Structure 1
Amino acid sequence: MTIQHRHGPVARLDGGVDLAARAASAAAVAAAHAAEVDREARYPAEAVEALRAQRLLGAAIPIAFGGEGASMQALAEICYVLGRACASTAMIFAMHQTKVACLVRHGRGEPWCEGAMRRIADAQLLLASSTTEGQGGGNVRASAAAVEPDGDHLRLERAATVISYGAQADGIVTVARRAADAGASDQVLCVLLREDYELERLSGWETLGMRGTCSAGFRLRARFRPEQVLPARYADIHGQTMTPVSHLLWSSAWAGIAAGAVEKAQAFTRTAMRGAGGQAPPGALHYARAVSSLKQARALIAQGLDRFEAAADDPASLAALDFQTAITMLKVEVSELAVAAVSSALRANGLAGYRQDGDFSVGRALRDVLSAPIMIHNDRIMANLATATLMTPVAAALRD
């Protein structure tokens, strides 16, 4: 995959420094603080400030509104580079860009939304996501809280199970029922900036991995203008943008975590072979498996990116069952492959990988990547997919 601009080969800014170089610069900062971020379960402030300084938070905003119009290919590559450095930073970037994509793809032509895009690009604002709620957990297609009128404004109060980096974000994009009498699945997406809401912390974030995402639970209380509700139905936003973009960018971040672990396994295997006169160590088989799992994950992501960009401007193609099945399964398959790659890297490195100290440790990568099949649980995804395809005829030929 290469970094490319939607309208040309490479997006360049600041005297010819391209997105890839700027991403590498931010990743270096993220890597320098990654161990401390994990150990202290703290927000990766230095890394996010580096993303802001490199103007990467607004990279996907259209050029007309002050951004760079960066393609999904470019954003995925940045997630991969960040994943190799700091998993939490990569996931924060992926979640932020998913919210930006919803605003960009479904807010064009709306004066408030276009003004928000300009603000994001100019000030490099960081957007968080609030989609999980109460007992519904990861079921983002059902909401309990509703948007309600409040004079010439709207108000919303919702108990969010998690809002990743909610306390640090400059804005929150949240889903809610369209009105108090609307059904749970009759939803809208609201774009809130920091002046529109307040947060009351309900729970903490003490987890095995991804500790720097600071995904605490909050009660969100908001009062905002009606034009801050995107005009499109959330069902359309979810299928056309939220699901494909999040699955592509999450997967790229997880593949980056796996790549970092595989690189350590490669270094360990090379070192062991040099010490044994060229004889492969016992864990070399596991290193080969790690490489294979990573290659499969990268190939699936590349296919997914190509498929999304080919269909991106065609709602009918995005809604097609084949596309929805493929983009849904991308998350499931890459999350499992990433876990397999890091697990194999750990076994390749043996005790040196199991230790928390030393150059060949992959413990943090394993703890972080184990979130991949759990964050919006693969079992829930597969159950929903099974229901959606139950009445679809099984293909009678290879190319049907």
Structure 2
Amino acid sequence: MNAAAQEVEASQLAELDRSAGARSETELLEAARRVAAIAANHASAVDKEARFPAEAVAAMRDERLFSAMVPVIHGGDGLSLSGVARLCETLAQGCASAAMIYAMHQSQVICIVDHGANVQWQRDFLTRMVSEQWLLASATSEETIGGNMRTSACAVDLVDGAFTIEKLAPTISYGKYADCILVTARRHPDAPPSDQVLIVAPRETCTLEQRGTWDTLGMRGTCSEGHRLVASGTAEQILPVPFSKIADESMLPVSHTLWSSVWIGIASDAVNRAHQFFRNQARGKPGALPPSASRLAQAVTLIRMMQARLRESLAAVEASQRQRVIRQASHADDIDAPLTASIGLASDLNMLKLSISQSAVHVVQETLMICGMAGYKNDTPFSVGRHLRDLHSAPLMISNDRIELNTANLLLAQRAATGDL
């Protein structure tokens, strides 16, 4: 075993020694089921009123789910990305908006865990976030550049170790309910739009002025209004690596996988409703299958394929994370990372997002055909209208058109497009 591997193993053993208070994935899944039950009781009201799922979020805080993915060294449970994906899938079967809020929160947590742990302010922040179960949000969009998170118009004004920033964001999901917002900006006023940093801005260091409303087709509980955000603080609140690296290594891999788990959870709940409707029909006419039998079989098959596809991507992301830890332990430069592997993972995650966001909509459309008017109406146990409306947001969260163009560019750099079994 080389020195780098020994250092990694020693770190893992030390973490195990500190993990007596950390919960297992089984315990966390049980907690997520309890939260999902509470979320389900309020999901219709959240949807009708386009209000924040306060009851579900309070339950997440009570169950200490916000720190599930924080390493045990910082007081969290150290749950793997695959484990968090299963939590998201479970929560989504109760309330899509609550589950998406949880997934977006975790995509911000991982940015600090992966790229801020060497800074004392960031370590102290993680400790406080775990202790107080803070909810983290993200401000990456901007009025002058739209949804292109890889460019910023606003810039950090840093003087004598203190910064100020002002950003006009067309959407900040659940921003006014978050305890902290992670904000992208240009590194300094003379920096080009792509030279970005990520700032950790607790709510006591920033102000929000709401600009616009959130009256939408679906995902109404995410409360993603636009805001004028003004933040100030110390230089240590700025993560020390470029945002491009944070996005490639942490934010996007976690976002695409956890969003996909939410979409699968929504579709799974719709299929479970359709399955129960089908069983009720079959009991009414013993010996004869209802005419929707083939649709149900196809919907279940597609859900299983989506789950298998997500598991494959989760395994790839976790393998990449392990390799990054080994490189960091051996003090290897980023240039030592295999370029073909990183390009392959990026294109795979893009294709994951495309396939799951489209397939989930198709699955729920099939369940609507199975349940018929009972699925079309909003006041039956078999209603899937909310599921369908929520899932129509999936192709829009980082536009599928933009992702397809990015994927095509990545495929130009790859020798083979399809890979092997």
Identify whether the pair has TM-score above 0.5, normalized to the shorter chain.
Answer: yes
Deviation at 1:374, TM superposition (A): 1.1
Letter aligned with residue 256 of structure 2: H
Q: Secondary structure at the match of 1:18?
A: helix
Residues 11 and 257 of structure 1: is their aligned pair in 2 closer, same or farther, counting only changes over 3 Å?
farther
Matches within 5 A, 1:262-281: 262-281=271-290
Q: Please state if 1:299 is matched with 2:308.
A: yes
- C-alpha distance in 2, partners of 1:357/1:292? 28
Matches within 5 A, 1:337-352: 337-352=359-374
TM-score by length of 1: 0.94
Residues 80 and 7 of structure 1: is their aligned pair in 2 closer, same or farther, counting only changes over 3 Å?
farther
Residues 67 and 317 of structure 1: is their aligned pair in 2 closer, same or farther, counting only changes over 3 Å?
farther
User: 1:48 pairs with 57, 64, 82, which one?
Assistant: 57
Structure 2 partner of 1:117: 126
- C-alpha distance in 1, partners of 2:43/2:242? 38
Considering fraction of residues, name the structure with more helix.
2
User: Which has the larger displacement, 77-86 or 132-141?
Assistant: 132-141
Structure 1 partner of 2:345: 323
Conserved 8 A contact 1:296-1:337: no
Matches within 5 A, 1:1-400: 18-315=27-324, 316=337, 320-394=342-416, 399=420
Deviation at 1:362, TM superposition (A): 0.4
Letter aligned with residue 371 of structure 1: S
Letter aligned with residue 357 of structure 2: S
User: Which has the larger displacement, 145-154 or 178-187?
Assistant: 145-154
Conserved 8 A contact 2:114-2:250: yes
Q: Secondary structure at the match of 2:279?
A: helix
Deviation at 1:139, TM superposition (A): 0.8
Residues 75 and 391 of structure 1: is their aligned pair in 2 closer, same or farther, counting only changes over 3 Å?
closer
User: Which has the larger displacement, 198-207 or 379-388?
Assistant: 379-388
- C-alpha distance in 2, partners of 1:103/1:111? 12
Q: Deviations over 1:233-275 (max 9, x none)?
A: 1111111111100001000000000000000000010101111
Residues 245 and 354 of structure 1: is their aligned pair in 2 closer, same or farther, counting only changes over 3 Å?
same
Deviation at 1:7, TM superposition (A): 6.1
Deviation at 1:136, TM superposition (A): 2.1
Conserved 8 A contact 1:34-1:86: yes
Q: Deviations over 1:168-208 (max 9, x none)?
A: 00000111111111111111111110111000111110000
- C-alpha distance in 1, partners of 2:420/2:24? 48
Identity %: 45
- C-alpha distance in 2, partners of 1:322/1:20? 31
- C-alpha distance in 2, partners of 1:392/1:17? 39
Deviation at 1:317, TM superposition (A): 5.4
Conserved 8 A contact 1:27-1:81: yes
Conserved 8 A contact 1:285-1:348: no
Conserved 8 A contact 1:332-1:373: yes
- C-alpha distance in 2, partners of 1:366/1:338? 9
Poorly superposed stretches of 4+, deviation over 6 Å:
14-17
Conserved 8 A contact 1:11-1:18: no
Residues 173 and 317 of structure 1: is their aligned pair in 2 closer, same or farther, counting only changes over 3 Å?
farther
Letter aligned with residue 278 of structure 2: T
Residues 317 and 36 of structure 1: is their aligned pair in 2 closer, same or farther, counting only changes over 3 Å?
farther
Q: Give the count of matched residue pairs.
A: 393
Conserved 8 A contact 2:22-2:78: no
- C-alpha distance in 2, partners of 1:271/1:11? 47
Conserved 8 A contact 1:283-1:350: no
Letter aligned with residue 280 of structure 2: T
Deviation at 1:357, TM superposition (A): 1.2
- C-alpha distance in 2, partners of 1:278/1:125? 55
Letter aligned with residue 238 of structure 1: A
Deviation at 1:151, TM superposition (A): 4.7
Deviation at 1:352, TM superposition (A): 1.0
Deviation at 1:15, TM superposition (A): 11
> What's the C-alpha RMSD, in Å, of the aligned pairs?
2.1
Letter aligned with residue 374 of structure 1: L
- C-alpha distance in 2, partners of 1:83/1:71? 19
Residues 108 and 184 of structure 1: is their aligned pair in 2 closer, same or farther, counting only changes over 3 Å?
same
Q: Deviations over 1:65-111 (max 9, x none)?
A: 11111111111011000011100000000000000000001111210
Conserved 8 A contact 1:11-1:19: no
